[in-house]
Amino acid sequence: MKKRRLTRFLFTALIASTALCGCAKKSDGNTKTTAVTKTGTPVTYTALYPREVTTLNYLVTSTILDHRIPANCIDTLVEYDLDGKIKEGLAAEWTYDKAALTWTFKLRDAKWVDHTGAAAADVTAHDFVDAMKYALTPEYESASAQNLFGVIANAQEYYNGLVFNGGADDSGKIWAPIDFSEVGVTAVDDHTLTYTLAAEVPYFLSSLVYVIYMPAYGPQLEELGKSFGTGADKMYYNGAFYLAEFAPQEKQIMKKNTLNYDSDHVFIDVLERIYNAEALTLGPEMIRRGEVDYAELTADILDDWNNNEETKKLISRERPKTDYSQFYCFNFDPQFDASYEPANWKKAVNNENFRQALAAGLNRLKSVSVLEPDSPDTYIINSITPIKFTYNEDGKDYTEFNAIAALGDTYDEAGALKFKAIAIEELSAAGVTFPVKVLMPYNPEIPNWDKESQVVEQQMEALLGADFIDIIIEPGPADNFLTEVRRSGKYAFMKSGWAADYADPETWTDPFYQEKGEGGYKPGYKYSFFAKAIEDNTKTAETVTEYFALVDAAKAIKVDTNSRFEAFAEAEAYLINHALAVPYSIQVSLHLANKLDVFEAQYAPFGVSWMRYKGMTVKDHYISMEEYEANRK
Amino acid sequence: MVNYLVKRIGRSLLTLVLILTIVFCLLRLMPVEGYFPNFEKMTPEQIQIGLDEMGLNDPLPVQLVRFFKDLLQGNLGVSRIYRANVLVVDILADKMPLSLKLGSLSMLLSLLVGLPLGALMARYRLRFFDKLGTLFIVCIQAVPAAVYFLFIQLYGTRLLDVGLLFKADDPLYWVLPAISMSLSNIAFYGMWLRRYMVDESNKDYVRLAKAKGISEGDVLFKHVFRNAFVPLAQYIPTAFLNTVIGSIYIESLYSIPGMGGLLVTVIKKHDNTMVQGIVLLYACVGVMGLLLGDLMMVMLDPRISLSGKEGDR
């Protein structure tokens, strides 16, 4: 009897739990109707995305993946137009007082809205001040706070004052706490904002489109603290869109903010982004069925699509970006496994002729062809700074300055063999064994990088000889590749990349330059670990020291743009001519199926402008290559 | 029975504590980079402040005691990387219902199709239906699941005239994911039930029943099936509870925002608090599954007694 009762009870519990599970519906909190077009149907743009953001809090994250939502939902002081020229954003006008190093911005009227699109508060100058204070609070762990050090007056002093509270840092410098009112950001009144700089910063205006300078509603920051940006209902919006729904690893829904000052130039009502880890596989099939408006097309299916009359007209490309440069790095502080002979590599890499042999032996045209079979030469660059990245006041491209303009194609077969012969002689005398093992990892999550690496290996070994170098291709971890491989020094020679943070050639020294502090060289962004050569007093020490000195000299020139550009050009040319790095390419534009004309978007070679959908219209067809080329012109 | 249950629950709790302690200690051996989403851009001072706040600079025993104290209050901590500053319980509470519902549907389908399949294969042993069933089982077990999942999605969606991606509020969108998830279990139940029923059919009591004139159908379904089902029954509670874990590939294929793949994702992202929370969940599922499985066996077979040593696990 007891058993029967127990049986019945358990059975009932099983059925009840099956029936009841999943019944609870998630409240999306959105009770407002969507703005619609004149025809009554909301204009929706649907796309898949394969990687979820880690946070919505734009004041603390420096990950590009996390920037798409704030790029569209938070307006900045300035914006960029279609051609990459700065124009008014939230700031209607601005002036600069050179003597006081102070920028003054007059704000237009603007509103904060919540996740339902309802007005919540007015945007004021205080919101910019409060946002900066939040970012400079160590407790909130902002990864972008350092962008303000040395730029905004007393930003570093305020931050370190909180951290050390009168104590000393590792170099012995004392950091006394200061009041935030001493930091160079002030709300004169609700519509007047000033930034006082720590020093002359020629690129300051261009850096205002970056997330660290975005405003946030002060009282909400105060109330939520660390919880700010942990959900769509945990922040306010003042941009072209507001985040109506955010369900991690499910969807991101942004809706047109009808209260935005520039809503007349927003032509999409709903941005619907659906999470799918298999987006690269499913996206193209969904394009064929017309279920999404955007998908990336990988090299694997491109040929098939090009050979099919129906799918051929669905293919276009993303806009070429000049804010991301790829180059090959030599590692001067190898930390990889002993089986790859790091000590032997270290001796070899400190020989300039060895590096020159590898630099001259890399046929970039061949390897870039893996990603771009049609016109690889349009992506190859001879400098670290891409062409059309930045210009002086006369409109002269930085890469036309003498030292950079003189750089030619690094690939030189005869030169490579000549350097090889000298290197063998010198390195043999130093006890280096041949072939020198060259560990070259790749990230398996980046499409086609494995194939590209194979081409590099075959081509370089064929030219220089497998008795000179033994290139070993290894897949790194798909997640945390940068931390596990590059930043840990677990490579010998590897393709790396850098995205510009602001419109000045100084940004392209950041991967390589290491500042000297009281306690030695700072680690920097951990690309080539140049300073190790100085610390170990190797043969490259003098070369690296000279490069650092050239960069220091260039940084010191604040006012005269031409002199500044010349000095940075000289430093960059020195870097390349001494084979401390090998320039490679700008990022190859992805092949896409897309219903947006990419040339309708805001454009800037850095910052978040390129992610904005404002000004773009959803077409009733997928853009073809003919249309893409016509729009490009 | 009550004594038995009390002892089993006590031992289960001890097992859970051990598992959590081991996982906790192992996670503390991981590099600190994993606690910070933007580690490379943080200053050493920021990192130290963060570690102090998380209590990671405290001695390990202190951290462990604090963890169990928080656990007793239902606090599994906050996610650091996967969803920064969001409570782990909130993240899991969001995801579990969908996985549970989908898993339950697929389990129901597996039982409703798999058990009759196995019974009919045993009933018509060596005849056409048995051979057809065997072909089905071999195909399901030989072909990698990812292949037929993709086929089902690509062609099944056209057949049902539905989109490729899942919509929770449309019942039609549940069909293909549930079918995909149930196929391997259908094959499992079909294969093993057939085998156990065939074994039972050779026993003396079956011969006696046939000799008494009971029809073959009645013998199979009223007597043989129940005895053959007992060894399978112990796995059903575990299988049901495992639905909460979700299916990695199916959920990613259909964009179902469930639990599938969450553990792998948070391990890769080094989100240690999430890892701890999910390991706790999995450990509870495993322990409860075993306990319920034993109870179910006892209910089905009165000969089994858990009080004696032989029935204990």
Instruction: State the first-to-last Cα distance of chain A, in angstroms, to the nearest integer.
Output: 85
Task: Compare CB distances from A285 to B81, B164, B292 and report the shortest one's residue.
Answer: B164
Which residue from B254, B262, B253 is spatially nearest to B282, judged by alpha carbons? Answer: B262
A68: Cβ contacts below 8 Å, ≥ 6 apart: A53, A608, A611
Any CB–CB contact under 8 A between B100 and chain A? yes
Any CB–CB contact under 8 A between A27 and chain B? no
Q: Helix A561-577 vs helix A541-556: angle between axes, to the nearest 10 degrees?
A: 170
- State which of A175-184, A472-481, B58-67, B223-232 shows the largest mean pLDDT: A175-184
Q: Give chain A's length.
A: 633
B residues 246-285 closer than 8 Å to A (CB): 252-253, 255, 257, 261, 268-270
Distance CA A541, CA A536 (A): 8
Task: Compare CB distances from A22 to B101, B270, B296 and report the shortest one's residue.
Answer: B101
Which residue from A61, A398, A67 is spatially nearest to A202, judged by alpha carbons? Answer: A398
B41–A146 C-beta distance less than 8 A = yes
Any CB–CB contact under 8 A between B210 and chain A? no
* Residue B37 confidence (pLDDT): 64
Domains of chain B: residue spans and CATH: 2-88 (no CATH), 92-303 (1.10.3720.10)
* Residue A24 confidence (pLDDT): 37
- State which of B127-141, B240-254, B274-288 shows the largest mean pLDDT: B127-141
Upper half-sphere CA count for residue A609 (Cβ side, 13 Å): 34
Query: Which among A25, A141, A170, A529 is the top mutation candidate for probing chain B, defined by the most B β-carbons within 10 Å of its own β-carbon?
Result: A141
The token duo for A186 is 């002030």
Determine contact, residues A572/A389, Cβ cutoff 8 Å. Answer: no
B36 pLDDT more than 90 = no
User: Which residues from A are below 8 Å from B307, CB to CB?
Assistant: none
HEC secondary structure over A508-540: HHCCCCCCEECCEECCCCCCCCHHHHHHCCCCC
* Residue A88 confidence (pLDDT): 94
Task: Compare CB distances from A139 to B36, B49, B252 and report the shortest one's residue.
Answer: B49
Provide, rounded to the nearest whole percent, the portion of chain B with pLDDT above 90.
22
B302–A21 C-beta distance less than 8 A = no
B23 pLDDT more than 60 = yes
Which residue from A232, A235, A271, A234 is spatially nearest to A248, judged by alpha carbons? Answer: A232
Distance CA B187, CA B193 (A): 10
Distance CA A387, CA A394 (A): 16
Distance CA A296, CA A283 (A): 7
B308 pLDDT more than 80 = no
Determine contact, residues A570/A550, Cβ cutoff 8 Å. Answer: yes
Residues of chain A with pLDDT under 70: 1-39, 479
A480–B104 C-beta distance less than 8 A = no
B208: Cβ contacts below 8 Å, ≥ 6 apart: none
Specify the residue for token string 């043999």: A428
Q: What is the largest CA-CA distance in chain A?
A: 97
The per-residue pLDDT for range B155-191, each reduced to its tens digit, is 999 999 998 888 888 999 999 999 999 998 899 999 9
pTM of the model: 0.76
By three-state DSSP, how is residue B225 classified?
A: helix
* Residue B146 confidence (pLDDT): 85
Domains of chain A: residue spans and CATH: 57-63+70-236 (3.90.76.10), 327-586 (3.10.105.10)
A141–B46 C-beta distance less than 8 A = yes
User: Which residues from A are below 8 Å from B268, CB to CB?
Assistant: 477-480
Query: What pLDDT band is residue B307 in, cutting at 50, 70 and 90?
Result: low
Residue B165 vs residue B131, higher pLDDT: B131
HEC secondary structure over B88-138: HHHHHHHHHHHHHHHHHHHHHHHHHHHHHHHHHHHHCCCCHHHHHHHHHHH
**ipTM metric:** 0.71
A54–B82 C-beta distance less than 8 A = yes
* Residue B42 confidence (pLDDT): 67
Any CB–CB contact under 8 A between B85 and chain A? yes
The token duo for A489 is 């020094």
Query: Which among A18, A27, A487 is the top mutation candidate for probing chain B, defined by the most B β-carbons within 10 Å of its own β-carbon?
Result: A18
Q: Is A66 exposed, middle or buried (0-12, 13-18, 19+ CB in 10 A)?
A: buried
A55–B270 C-beta distance less than 8 A = no
Query: What pLDDT band is residue B229 in, cutting at 50, 70 and 90?
Result: confident
pLDDT, mean of residues B183-207: 90
Q: Is A577 exposed, middle or buried (0-12, 13-18, 19+ CB in 10 A)?
A: middle
Upper half-sphere CA count for residue A212 (Cβ side, 13 Å): 23
Any CB–CB contact under 8 A between A285 and chain B? yes
